[in-house]
Amino acid sequence: MKKATLINSEVSYTLAKMGHFDALTICDAGLPIPQHVQRIDLALSEGVPSFMDTLKAVVSEMEVESVELAKEFPNVSPELHSKVTTFFSIIAEQRNKEISISYVSHEEYKVNTQNSVAVIRTGEFTPYANITLKSGVVF
């Protein structure tokens, strides 16, 4: 049995296949997922699993170079947005690597998810709780 934090086989396999600049999206329960992009549906019920729990588990095994968020996120869901930005500040410090955060309109964000290798759907019901992680390298 796998011993690390992340034990979901589909998510682990997806991360193992990723290369530099590949994108992985983690989304709330309502984000439309493009038909041609792999869907990893973890959603069980409202809030299960949560966006932050899923994000923390994924980042525990992924080298993140940058993230993309919807520019509406900070205004509509400021508490969760603050948790996300604080989390990445801590991760950047721990890994001694900068993690840039960029913002695009929600409409552009949805279009950009078409470039993700996979979209992980959570049970999160917080508006705009979506993030695209761009893969970095470990050296």
**Does 43 appear as a known binding residue?**
no
Confirm whether 20 is a catalytic residue. Answer: yes
Orientation angle between helical segments 78-95 and 51-59, nearest 10 degrees: 10
CA distance 21 to 133: 9
Among candidate residues 20, 48, 89, 98, the one labeled active-site is: 20
**Does 130 appear as a known binding residue?**
yes
**Does 41 appear as a known binding residue?**
no
**Does 129 appear as a known binding residue?**
yes
User: What's the one-letter identity of residue 61?
Assistant: E
**Does 128 appear as a known binding residue?**
yes
Specify binding-site residues for substrate: 28, 106, 128-130
Catalytic residue numbers read 20
Known binding-site residues equal 28, 106, 128-130
